[in-house]
Structure 1
């Protein structure tokens, strides 16, 4: 299905075109704004002042797809103080009062006028890889921002690549997406966020437009585009997923018990640093999957669940991954297309980008999906759905037998900030709530609650994985939870190897039984059993406090208070038993 142009969507009453859409559309249609393709964006990016060429070859298959010259090399776009997302810079136009809307519109028109004094370029892409969910998108920026426009075309799909398929698709009741970016914007008005320098992400999710001003970091363009894509999916009745999902097929296994399981999909929801990509992309879950299995990954960051048709659909053909665990010589470098904020070293006469965050935190790369092995653009409905938490009171894995407890734990997903975000040192230390691990949600939370309730009611089973460590004697003295332990638990869930018992402290939740765990991970049961937590009274009180925080967060969320019956269902189940 395809999206609609501004004229197509509003043609019955053009007076309903919102001002942010009208301003964006006018700039897009300025005949002085030069339309470019990926190859042209690449050549312009090579001349950009903050872009360095390297001797690392772009993955040849990706270079060919993008129309780049043979032997094209990876570009390294380096920034200054800000090397991550700035969520506090977002301003939601439709939530502003009248005077603030008028102020912002004036500042916006002035910003566009400043942009038009420089040579501007635009490019078109298709967001979405499945023929039943595609959105046309346009990005506009200065020639001085060609690197972001090139990376945007790499991250999504240049329009001409899927044009024939797109043009044959039925129309969705959704507008095309427009992204406007200007790195040189400066506005010292305290109304706008200033941390490093002034930044503004101005969002109108109802008309599919975002402005990124004063924001060099490519993640702002990527997540801004995905924000509108996810929201568009919600508008047509699908669940928006900031997560990874893969489909395992055990029908080729020699093990008869595994063979009987057949195909099974599993999804993971978490922020950067919680293990989302590790769980999704691991080749064989650390050697814990049986011989003869096959795996297909949909994506490790963004997809949509279509509950009505019981399928999931991908938005992007590349991965935008951290490279802190990819040193020189790591096999993933073969698949690199572009990097951001990397140190470079001369190695055997070649200038190469180096992972491991030597220059700054949150070094990132755009990596071709071929790195995953076999992948698909749509996969089956997820039978297993996992929230990745950072809560020291939670055991490594919990299964939810109560639908609304599973939904509530996702709605009040507890985690910590990370260095992928442009926040203060104090913010990095705090426990925070990010519903469904999606900091890019721009619609009411109750819509996500209803969507995920539908997913669980249609047959998904909910779990939580704790990736920060489990209480030993205090909130800071923890039993580590190695990634290998979590991967082993994931495989055990997929293969139905775990037996469960009710967790007496949390009705509707279950923990793995001793006997099965002793066979799989000896010592696990005693190490991570809440009954064995030292300073037990302190543990219980902290656990109660954490669930009280969850309830308080949901009760204070304005866009849940407008749905008291939904809020009551969520808060009722988030209670530790006395």
Structure 2
């Protein structure tokens, strides 16, 4: 089997690196008399449907048989209160500098103790959809949060008979199963924003005082990505698609960006039938094998924003569970979804894999191109980066903006922020991701581009412009122009988005954005003395800034 769930008697001790205090606290909770096992999706659906917090719509779910749901299953809605996004401020990573492990372990023990008087459910899923990388995940949630449990089993792959057989023959890893303990009802005045506690070395986490389903999804992916990273893969918070050609090699494109950046749009775009065939790996979570450049999806479904779809649209047919949306009646008196973000921002749905007819779970062809999706108006719609150090440096200093998918505390969503490799879920040293991506550019010879999906010099960059860029790159018809004196950087000349480095105002803005990146890197090094970033990063940024002086 892929990861470790059972142990020989002689292995069960504190000397075994697969055991820790936190793992023991969390795993033990799963065996309580107050915990009921949910073994299939039909059972999970019926529990969610009967929950007092659930709204049962009249909109049918497609592909119920393939999904393992009851034949007459309909979309179920679960709405939350003030917080409808992920709370990054709640995350605590054991083992990091300044983190009091003993205190947090005591908090966790008390949280589990308080939960013992209430009914919980537990279920199992698979993370990773190919026998080369499959992890078993165990989730525990309290009564009243049945829809989160159902959503989890729809978002990831429930451990059904088919996947039990596949998992049994999958590649073994000397890693723990994932155990995720969740109690949204937990309260502690020391943690007013909740607590998301991680022990990544032992694949366990506790999500406390947080209702949002995205916390469960990203907690699981956090642990899965870390496991993949430890075992020869590059962790990817992004989307991947492949353009297939009859007369040349396939083009595998990977897009990296935060929620709301456009990565899902670019991943799922069909390009109006201009290509022989396009397949999609996933739009949010995958891993790349650093040995051969192949890729594996981690989850079958899509966690989409409902506001992307109009009522009655074909894509809505693939919704299953829905969160934080309005409900109204149609002309026949049937309860139907209000997909616009009228009730609140960040309405979400688990959209089934069947929405993408061209879906694959593994892409054997090596990665061709990486796209850093940014929201930096000093950059034209697309910039090509031809040097591995520059390519990895811009990934490390990826400039973007937050969206309503995040419960932002004490910060404006319009502020330009740097989120390395568009992955705020990293629980290992950043320098390791830098080397992982740099290796893809050096050894796999992957191309690298910056895609700006926001605006350039005050002019909005529309979706069609960006899709046209991807098509030109895929067809190898793009003609690149040197980005002034900036070495190993070039751009695609597009009418309406002219680059004029002789414009003093523009040159100053571009120089300032590069300076902002340098300041960020220097500050990171100061605040993370035990994981100092390679000197080549600052050297390269200083070189670029000098070229603009």
TM-score by length of 1: 0.89
Structure 1 residues 561, 543: CA separation in 2 closer, same or farther (over 3 Å shift)?
farther
Which residue of the partner structure matches residue 44 of structure 2? 41
- 1:332 paired to 2:335: no
Deviation of 1:433 (Å): 0.8
2: CA distance, partners of 1:326 / 1:262: 34
Deviation of 1:146 (Å): 1.3
2: CA distance, partners of 1:465 / 1:19: 44
What SS is found at the alignment partner of 1:531? Answer: coil
Measured against aligned partners, the alpha-carbon deviations of 1:325-345 in whole angstroms (never above 9, x if no partner) come to 211111101111111011111
What SS is found at the alignment partner of 1:328? Answer: coil
Instruction: Determine if contact 1:4/1:175 at 8 Å carries over to the other structure.
Output: yes
Deviation of 1:79 (Å): 0.4
What SS is found at the alignment partner of 1:365? Answer: strand
Which residue of the partner structure matches residue 283 of structure 1? 270
Measured against aligned partners, the alpha-carbon deviations of 1:175-218 in whole angstroms (never above 9, x if no partner) come to 100100001001011xx2x3xxx411001111101100111100
Deviation of 1:538 (Å): 2.7
Which residue of the partner structure matches residue 67 of structure 1? 68
What SS is found at the alignment partner of 2:342? Answer: coil
* Residue-pair matches, total: 537
Which residue of the partner structure matches residue 371 of structure 2? 386
- 1:466 paired to 2:461: no
Instruction: Pick the aligned partner of 1:413 from 385, 398, 402.
Output: 398
Task: Give runs of aligned pairs for residues 428-507 of structure 1, distance below 5 A.
Answer: 428-457=413-442, 458-471=444-457, 478-507=458-487
Instruction: Determine if contact 1:307/1:381 at 8 Å carries over to the other structure.
Output: no
What SS is found at the alignment partner of 2:425? Answer: coil
Measured against aligned partners, the alpha-carbon deviations of 1:17-40 in whole angstroms (never above 9, x if no partner) come to 211100011111224411113222
Which residue of the partner structure matches residue 474 of structure 1? none
- 1:530 paired to 2:532: no
Structure 1 residues 90, 449: CA separation in 2 closer, same or farther (over 3 Å shift)?
same
Instruction: Determine if contact 2:35/2:122 at 8 Å carries over to the other structure.
Output: yes
Which residue of the partner structure matches residue 153 of structure 2? 153
What SS is found at the alignment partner of 2:7? Answer: helix
Which residue of the partner structure matches residue 272 of structure 1? 259
Measured against aligned partners, the alpha-carbon deviations of 1:13-62 in whole angstroms (never above 9, x if no partner) come to 44442111000111112244111132222222223232211011112x2x
RMSD: 1.9
Instruction: Pick the aligned partner of 2:337 from 353, 358, 369.
Output: 353
Task: Give runs of aligned pairs for residues 173-572 of structure 1, distance below 5 A.
Answer: 173-189=174-190, 192=191, 194=192, 198-251=193-246, 260-284=247-271, 287=272, 290=274, 293-347=276-330, 348-379=332-363, 380-424=365-409, 426-457=411-442, 458-471=444-457, 478-513=458-493, 523-524=495-496, 527-531=497-501, 536-558=503-525, 562=530, 567-572=534-539
Instruction: Determine if contact 2:377/2:452 at 8 Å carries over to the other structure.
Output: yes
Instruction: Determine if contact 2:234/2:287 at 8 Å carries over to the other structure.
Output: yes
What SS is found at the alignment partner of 1:261? Answer: coil
1: CA distance, partners of 2:538 / 2:78: 46
Which residue of the partner structure matches residue 168 of structure 1? 169
2: CA distance, partners of 1:8 / 1:229: 24
1: CA distance, partners of 2:76 / 2:456: 41
Spell out structure 1 runs of 4+ moving beyond 6 A: none
Which residue of the partner structure matches residue 520 of structure 1? none
Measured against aligned partners, the alpha-carbon deviations of 1:410-437 in whole angstroms (never above 9, x if no partner) come to 0010011111110147421321111000
Structure 1 residues 353, 65: CA separation in 2 closer, same or farther (over 3 Å shift)?
same
Measured against aligned partners, the alpha-carbon deviations of 1:308-365 in whole angstroms (never above 9, x if no partner) come to 1321000011000111121111110111111101111101221011212121110011
Deviation of 1:171 (Å): 1.1
Deviation of 1:560 (Å): 6.8
Which residue of the partner structure matches residue 257 of structure 1? none
Unaligned runs of 5+ in 1: 252-259, 472-477, 518-522
What SS is found at the alignment partner of 2:445? Answer: coil
Structure 1 residues 3, 9: CA separation in 2 closer, same or farther (over 3 Å shift)?
farther
Measured against aligned partners, the alpha-carbon deviations of 1:36-91 in whole angstroms (never above 9, x if no partner) come to 132222222223232211011112x2x22443221111110100000000000001
2: CA distance, partners of 1:50 / 1:434: 35
2: CA distance, partners of 1:427 / 1:419: 11
Structure 1 residues 8, 74: CA separation in 2 closer, same or farther (over 3 Å shift)?
farther
Unaligned runs of 5+ in 2: none
1: CA distance, partners of 2:388 / 2:359: 30
1: CA distance, partners of 2:9 / 2:93: 22
